[in-house]
C-alpha cells in the first residue's frame, strides 16, 4: 500500500533564511525512509522556470505577474507535485501559493478575491461527489519564516544583484509581511510561524518542533 504523500511549503521574504533549512529538513525526512522531492516556486519544471525568469526580470503589470505565477504553478502541480504525492513522496517546496497572495496581493496591492479565483482554478482537486464541494491542493504544513523587513534587508545587503522583487523598498516588504499574516489568519491550522529573527540553531529547532508535532519526523 502506498504511503500518503506529504507536502510542506517554506514561505517568507528573501533574507528570512528559509532556504537554509529546506535541505536540512529534507535529510531529516529522508531518515524516516520517505523519498523527498525538493522543488521551488515559481519554477520546478522547465516551463515554470522560464516563466520564473520572466516574472523576476521583465516589467509587467500586477495582473500579468499574477497570471504568470499561477501558470507556472499549474504546470508545476501537474508535472511534479501531484505525481510525487501520488507516489507517497514528501514534497518540500520553497514557496507556493501563499507567496502569490503575499507578494502580488500584499506587496502589489492586487485584488485578493481575484487571486482566490485563480487559486481555485489552478489548484482544484477532483471531488468524490458534488456534495463534498471543491477541495484545493494546499500544503499539509506551511512554515512561515517571519522576519522584520529591515533585518532581511541588512542580511541581503551586497549579497547579489537584486531582481525586480528584491529591489523593492522596505514598505513593499512590510506589505508582503502583512499579506502573509492575512493568509495565515485565513487558514491558521496549516501554518506554523517561525520567528526567523533569532539564531540559525533556534530557527532549526522551531522548524523541527513544528514538523515533529505532526508526527512526520
Over residues 160-164, the mean pLDDT reads 69
Higher-confidence residue of 202 and 130: namely: 202
In the structure grid, which three cell numbers stand for residue 128, read together? Answer: 468524490
Please indicate if the annotation marks 12 as binding a ligand. Answer: yes
Binding residue per annotation — 53?
A: no
Q: Is 13 annotated as a binding residue?
A: yes
The whole model's pTM is what?
0.93
The answer to whether 51 and 71 have CB atoms below 8 angstroms apart is yes
| Element (DSSP H or E) covering residue 85 | helix 82-87
Beta strand segments in the chain, E: 6-11, 36-40, 90-94, 124-125, 135-136, 141-146, 191-195
206 annotated as a binding-site residue: no
Give the count of beta carbons closer than 10 Å to the beta carbon of residue 75.
Answer: 20
Confirm whether residue 19 is marked as ligand binding: yes
- Confirm whether residue 44 is marked as ligand binding: no
217 has binding-site annotation: no
Mean per-residue pLDDT, 44-68 = 96
Contact between 145 and 195 (Cβ < 8 Å): no
Peptide bond preceding 42: is omega within 30 degrees of 0, i.e. cis?
A: yes
Query: Taking residues 150-170, what's their average pLDDT?
Result: 77
Q: What is the mean pLDDT of residues 130-143?
A: 85
Residue for cell digits 491558521? 188
| Residue 135 assigned ligand-binding role | no
Amino acid at each position: 500500500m502506498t504511503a500518503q504523500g506529504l507536502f510542506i511549503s517554506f514561505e517568507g521574504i528573501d533574507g528570512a533564511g528559509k532556504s537554509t533549512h529546506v535541505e536540512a529538513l529534507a535529510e531529516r525526512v529522508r531518515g524516516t525512509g520517505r523519498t523527498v522531492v525538493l522543488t521551488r516556486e515559481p519554477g520546478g519544471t522547465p516551463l515554470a522556470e522560464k516563466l520564473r525568469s520572466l516574472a523576476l526580470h521583465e516589467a509587467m503589470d500586477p495582473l500579468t505577474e499574477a497570471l504568470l505565477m499561477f501558470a507556472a504553478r499549474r504546470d508545476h502541480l501537474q508535472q511534479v507535485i501531484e505525481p510525487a504525492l501520488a507516489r507517497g513522496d514528501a514534497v518540500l517546496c520553497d514557496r507556493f501559493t501563499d507567496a502569490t497572495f503575499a507578494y502580488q496581493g500584499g506587496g502589489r496591492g492586487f485584488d485578493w478575491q481575484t487571486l482566490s479565483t485563480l487559486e481555485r482554478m489552478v489548484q482544484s482537486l477532483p471531488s468524490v461527489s458534488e456534495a463534498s464541494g471543491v477541495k484545493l491542493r494546499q500544503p499539509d504544513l506551511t512554515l512561515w519564516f517571519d522576519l522584520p523587513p529591515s533585518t532581511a534587508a541588512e542580511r541581503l545587503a551586497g549579497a547579489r544583484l537584486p531582481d525586480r522583487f528584491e529591489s523593492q523598498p522596505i514598505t513593499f516588504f512590510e506589505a508582503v509581511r502583512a499579506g502573509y499574516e492575512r493568509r495565515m489568519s485565513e487558514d491558521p491550522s496549516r501554518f506554523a510561524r517561525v520567528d526567523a529573527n533569532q539564531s540559525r540553531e533556534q530557527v532549526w529547532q522551531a522548524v523541527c518542533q513544528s514538523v515533529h508535532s505532526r508526527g512526520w519526523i
